[in-house]
Structure 1
Amino acid sequence: MGKTEQTVAELMVEQLSMFGVKRIYGVVGDATIGLIDALAKQEKIQYIAVKHESTAAFMASAEAKLTGGLGVCTATMGPGAANLLNGLGDAYADRAPVLAITGQAPTDKIGTEYQQYVDQQELMSPFATYSANLASPDATIAVLQKAARTSLGQRVVSHISVPKDIFLKPATGKPRALPEVIEGPAVFTKESLKKATEIMKTAKRPMILAGSGATSVTEELEKLAELWGAGILVSLGGKGLFDESSKYILQGIGEGGNPHAAELFKQADVVLLAGSTWWPEGYVPTNARIIQIDRQFDKFVKDIPTELGISGKTEEVLPFLTESLQGFSRSEDWVNRCLEVKEKWAAQNEKEGSTEGFPVHPARIIRALDRTVAADAILALDTGDNTVWTNRIFRQKEQSVLFSGYWRTMGFGLPAAMVAKLAKPEKQVVAIVGDGGLQMVLADLLTATRYKLNITVVVLNNESLQMERDKIQAENKKEIGVDLTNPDFIKLAEACGWQGFRAESDTELESLLEQALNTNAPTLVDISTAQVFFPETE
């Protein structure tokens, strides 16, 4: 018996493996049977079967954010493809390189009244920079190559729809690796950065705003802050880049940040943005001169009044700026004001984190977490009240944080935590979620069980959509729909094969969390949480 010809689906899997893809997240559907068959016949790529396609897309986005590699998700045509959109929106908004592969109607049914048919290129157009329908087996490699190059090169979403019959047709072509790109240092010199240093030398009240793009330059930023006499503020993406004890770290700015830093930041006359595209509206200086460093120049247009954009890697730019500022006469008065703000917030932070009572104050919960989680843990944040309290209270060490930045979708925390454990099994992984966000993805507790993912999910259970309640109250409007009807999370978790822990008082939080974190199984910690109006809600 001769060798069976390779199908398009099998060739696609082989090509994806060559791209470095280790996992594909999805839900099995009729239109993707050929792809599922191909995945089942090999062991290079693990297929992670989830309960809802939005979870699959969340996981692909979270993996791309965590590893920098290509995150891949798959779904069937019609409703399956539509369910991917929320997670693809997250990848689109946070510029995570994700590829979505969806089944499509058979080629002779495209454009007809065939069940579940929809023009998927039109469906994906708001989020996908590149979207193609694979119309011929001969185009398999070319289309996959273009999708991967687009996603990885531009850090965007790509999408390929494949008619059901095409998956099963004999393939032509051979997989090939993406071209290796050797990135030499950018041609920066003291002279080419003269405009930047000239602006920086005018500063009497300098500030640095750092984000996730500054991951590899924390020491250099601390040197620059010392020399320039600047305070360092961080976006949520910069949480964990600097140890809280670092001299010039003033924590975050904006909702959930250091409340005393807001007024200080408004007085800044020169601001350096390092690896951050976020600009906290309502907290910003009106007349400051803004310098922004980023690899992708289009990020300079995100409502930030940048005077000078430096297109390049932060780590290649900072040494020249630091060298050029040698001998700079910094303002000691400004430095002292920065240090006073740091000390004032540290004292208030400690006081808030020690708030007593039951149900437990959210600040007390976050304080218990920063006392118990590993210094190099991965934190997966859902969107909601839990996000702003974590940003406000958590005193970071070297933890890394996964979150939904610009899309800000509820339901992200659990999928992101599962990805973190799959990609970094040696790390402690903790999801910090609200009861509302968790309920959007409850079925996928079983996904963690299925793949034996020893993560800890901490639920701030205040039986409400607290962030929305706060905003309604802040606008003096009437509320409806913000109260939640919650299940018994412990019974539910145990029914899904998890270990459940419930806090009975605020004094036992640390011991309860340590027990959960040291349990060799997926664990859920349910904490009855006080409904507290967040201090800076607008």
Structure 2
Amino acid sequence: MAKTGQTVAELMLHQLSLYGVKRIYGVVGDATFGLIDALAGQDEIEFIACKHESTAAFMASAEAKLTGGLGVCTATMGPGATNLLNGLGDAHADRAPVLALTGQAPTDKIGTAFPQFINQQDLVKPFAAYSANLASPDAALDLLEKAVGTALGQRAVTHLSVPKDLFMANASAKPRPLPDVIEGASVFTEESLESAAAVMKSAKRPMILAGSGAAGAAQDLQKLAESWGAGILASLGGKGLVEDDSPHMLQGIGEGGNPHASDLFKEADVVLLAGTTWWPEGHVPTDARVIQIDPHFNQIEKNIPVEIGITGKAEEVLPILADSLEGFSRSDDWMRRCRDVKEKWATQNEQEGGTEGFPVHPSRIMRALDRTVAPDAVLALDTGDNTVWTNRNFRQKNQTTVFSGYWRTMGFGLPAAMAAKLVSPDKQVVAIVGDGGLQMVLADLLTATRYGLNITVVVLNNGSLQMEVDKLKVLGAKGTGTDLTNPDFVKLAEACGWKAFRPGSDDELEPVLEQALHSDGPSLVDIRTAREFFPETE
């Protein structure tokens, strides 16, 4: 059937391009044929065809986390929409702005026994801050504007389902040029932050817990720590914000963090949270006065005993707090204890990284990575034993880390690495994954091949769901199903058009990693990894 005029799908794509969308991740299905046809007829937005819808949603989530902009994924109705849910759950949990566009049954079949029909608004309700079904071509822009505005304004997941006939229906509206937006800084003064400064000045044992939300305020973070005499602990997303040679930087906290920092942190009497909602139970003080800085404070639902919440960006607030603390009488004893904890862990970390043997100890793998990975690389972490060993032993510099923070889904690493390379093609991108997590998304090795994505996937291959093994051991419980039936990852990757490597000893780690990292096209390093009990398992 010949088209006349602009379709709803074409109109929506044009509007999304005005919002800055460069890519849509998805899998083709018949309920989205109108959208696929429109994507094929333009060159402003690239369609990234994935092997599985969960990968598409993971990639959209990772892009949103890395850029702060809108990530977009698409799927057909029924099983396609259902398969998006894991990635949408990840975006929801980590407050990443993601829009899901799904096909729906034709308008005259909605609510019937039409194949694959399901009420999609009910389906996505746990994850989506806004979800609507398009009922008229004339409403397309209004719904899209609401969905995008909600996603970006609330850093949330939103969703639009579009009946397959409406994607291809004629649209009379025109794309709406975006207004010139002048974004002013929040108005903070020493007077407006006086109550927070007063609490901070009462501290004898101050501590800062920083996360990725403080990325634009690294120097201010360091200055504040110096003025206040505070130690700095980091969530996984905040590692690398402050140089390791700073006497205030104690590295991570929680499972996989500095194992000596928890006891010190529990003694803190005033804690400043900057750009993080990380508050790991069992590692935090129970009676400290807590100040939290977050631009979306009214949306924070984590169980943090906050006394003063400051709604704003870290870069707007930290400089003023630092100035307010000029002349503050710091505790030399507290700083000495912070330095002792820092030095004790630095020595132990170095020793752990030198562990010899084959299969290779996970700490030794992390030492090889921090010697070979570019200082400004993007690291995409899967969820599992690889995450905690990376957090524990990888000595992060200026690398950017993307991971599944609160959803903690396996299978995130490879999709996140592919999205990172599309977003930053000039950056080195390295995925650190376990064998279990990689097997969940193996088909999408071919997505990296299809789009020529020069990424490196490092597989910690111990033939086991080792994190679950460790936790079962702690519980004194029996386990079954934790041993993995692994393919030959090298042969499989090569069959998918990748270059693949397998070091034969711990001495070969660095040379093999260097070879993989400097290969053209996607590369995989399969490392036989020792089944080591993680020492901080809870």
Q: Shorter-chain TM-score: which interval?
A: over 0.9
Asked whether the 8 Å contact 1:242–1:396 carries over to 2, the reply is no
Residue 507 of structure 1 corresponds to 507
Q: Does 1:432 align with 2:432?
A: yes
**Cα 1:485/1:39, change in 2 over 3 Å:** same
Q: What is the rounded CA distance, in whole Å, between the counterparts of 1:34 and 1:286 in structure 2? A: 56
- 1:54 is paired with a residue of what secondary structure? helix
Q: Which moved more, 1:324-333 or 1:2-11?
A: 2-11
Note the 1:68-467 alignment, pairs <5 A: 68-467=68-467
Residue 531 of structure 1 corresponds to 531
Q: What is the rounded CA distance, in whole Å, between the counterparts of 1:206 and 1:422 in structure 2? A: 41
Asked whether the 8 Å contact 1:197–1:321 carries over to 2, the reply is yes
Q: What is the rounded CA distance, in whole Å, between the counterparts of 2:369 and 2:113 in structure 1? A: 54
Q: What is the rounded CA distance, in whole Å, between the counterparts of 2:33 and 2:3 in structure 1? A: 21
Residue 52 of structure 2 corresponds to 52
Q: CA deviation at 1:313?
A: 1.1
Query: What is the CA deviation profile of residues 436-460 of structure 1, one whole-angstrom value per residue up to 9, with x for unaligned ones?
Result: 0000000000000000001000000
Asked whether the 8 Å contact 2:32–2:164 carries over to 1, the reply is yes
Q: What is the rounded CA distance, in whole Å, between the counterparts of 1:201 and 1:301 in structure 2? A: 27
Code of the residue aligned with 2:152 in structure 1: it is: L
Q: What is the rounded CA distance, in whole Å, between the counterparts of 1:461 and 1:366 in structure 2? A: 14
Same amino acid, percent of matched pairs: 74
Asked whether the 8 Å contact 1:353–1:364 carries over to 2, the reply is yes
Query: What is the CA deviation profile of residues 14-52 of structure 1, one whole-angstrom value per residue up to 9, with x for unaligned ones?
Result: 111111110000000010011000000111100000000
- 1:307 is paired with a residue of what secondary structure? strand
- 2:118 is paired with a residue of what secondary structure? coil
Asked whether the 8 Å contact 2:260–2:341 carries over to 1, the reply is yes
Asked whether the 8 Å contact 1:240–1:401 carries over to 2, the reply is no
Q: What is the rounded CA distance, in whole Å, between the counterparts of 1:300 and 1:162 in structure 2? A: 31
- 1:215 is paired with a residue of what secondary structure? helix
Q: What is the rounded CA distance, in whole Å, between the counterparts of 1:135 and 1:26 in structure 2? A: 23
Q: What is the rounded CA distance, in whole Å, between the counterparts of 1:26 and 1:178 in structure 2? A: 26
Q: What is the rounded CA distance, in whole Å, between the counterparts of 2:102 and 2:179 in structure 1? A: 26
- 2:250 is paired with a residue of what secondary structure? strand
Asked whether the 8 Å contact 1:90–1:408 carries over to 2, the reply is yes
Q: What is the rounded CA distance, in whole Å, between the counterparts of 2:241 and 2:325 in structure 1? A: 23
TM-score where L is the length of structure 2: 0.99
Q: What is the rounded CA distance, in whole Å, between the counterparts of 1:336 and 1:39 in structure 2? A: 60
**Cα 1:34/1:3, change in 2 over 3 Å:** closer
Asked whether the 8 Å contact 1:417–1:431 carries over to 2, the reply is yes
**Cα 1:322/1:524, change in 2 over 3 Å:** same
Asked whether the 8 Å contact 1:121–1:133 carries over to 2, the reply is yes
Q: What is the rounded CA distance, in whole Å, between the counterparts of 1:301 and 1:526 in structure 2? A: 39
Q: CA deviation at 1:297?
A: 1.6
Q: What is the rounded CA distance, in whole Å, between the counterparts of 1:3 and 1:458 in structure 2? A: 48
Code of the residue aligned with 1:213 in structure 2: it is: G
**Cα 1:180/1:466, change in 2 over 3 Å:** farther
Q: CA deviation at 1:241?
A: 1.6
**Cα 1:300/1:93, change in 2 over 3 Å:** closer
Query: What is the CA deviation profile of residues 271-328 of structure 1, one whole-angstrom value per residue up to 9, with x for unaligned ones?
Result: 0000011101001111111010111122454100001111111111111111111111
Code of the residue aligned with 1:94 in structure 2: it is: D
Q: Which moved more, 1:183-192 or 1:469-478?
A: 183-192
- 1:217 is paired with a residue of what secondary structure? helix
Q: What is the rounded CA distance, in whole Å, between the counterparts of 2:280 and 2:3 in structure 1? A: 61
Q: What is the rounded CA distance, in whole Å, between the counterparts of 1:3 and 1:522 in structure 2? A: 40
Q: What is the rounded CA distance, in whole Å, between the counterparts of 2:464 and 2:507 in structure 1? A: 24
**Cα 1:434/1:400, change in 2 over 3 Å:** same
Query: What is the CA deviation profile of residues 45-86 of structure 1, one whole-angstrom value per residue up to 9, with x for unaligned ones?
Result: 000000000000000000000111110000000000000000
Residue 493 of structure 2 corresponds to 493
Asked whether the 8 Å contact 2:208–2:232 carries over to 1, the reply is yes
- 2:57 is paired with a residue of what secondary structure? helix
Q: CA deviation at 1:3?
A: 9.0
> What stretches of structure 2 of length at least 5 have no aligned partner?
none
Code of the residue aligned with 1:181 in structure 2: it is: V
Q: CA deviation at 1:180?
A: 3.9
Q: Which moved more, 1:3-12 or 1:440-449?
A: 3-12
Query: What is the CA deviation profile of residues 368-398 of structure 1, one whole-angstrom value per residue up to 9, with x for unaligned ones?
Result: 0000000000000000000000000011110
Equivalent pairs counted in the alignment come to 537
Query: What is the CA deviation profile of residues 463-493 of structure 1, one whole-angstrom value per residue up to 9, with x for unaligned ones?
Result: 0000011000000000101000000000000
TM-score where L is the length of structure 1: 0.99
Q: Does 1:18 align with 2:18?
A: yes
- 1:182 is paired with a residue of what secondary structure? coil
Q: What is the rounded CA distance, in whole Å, between the counterparts of 1:220 and 1:174 in structure 2? A: 45
Q: Which moved more, 1:372-381 or 1:163-172?
A: 163-172
Code of the residue aligned with 2:29 in structure 1: it is: G
- 1:291 is paired with a residue of what secondary structure? strand
Code of the residue aligned with 1:84 in structure 2: it is: L
Q: What is the rounded CA distance, in whole Å, between the counterparts of 2:261 and 2:118 in structure 1? A: 50
- 1:536 is paired with a residue of what secondary structure? coil
Q: What is the rounded CA distance, in whole Å, between the counterparts of 1:17 and 1:183 in structure 2? A: 21
Residue 67 of structure 2 corresponds to 67
- Dislocated runs of 4+, deviation >4 Å: none
Query: What is the CA deviation profile of residues 182-215 of structure 1, one whole-angstrom value per residue up to 9, with x for unaligned ones?
Result: 2212121111111111101111100000001000
Q: Which moved more, 1:318-327 or 1:368-377?
A: 318-327
Asked whether the 8 Å contact 2:410–2:440 carries over to 1, the reply is yes
Q: CA deviation at 1:178?
A: 4.0
Q: Which moved more, 1:260-269 or 1:174-183?
A: 174-183
**Cα 1:178/1:97, change in 2 over 3 Å:** farther
Asked whether the 8 Å contact 2:472–2:478 carries over to 1, the reply is yes
- 2:162 is paired with a residue of what secondary structure? strand
Residue 37 of structure 1 corresponds to 37
Asked whether the 8 Å contact 2:4–2:170 carries over to 1, the reply is no
Asked whether the 8 Å contact 1:277–1:299 carries over to 2, the reply is no
Q: What is the rounded CA distance, in whole Å, between the counterparts of 2:386 and 2:465 in structure 1? A: 11
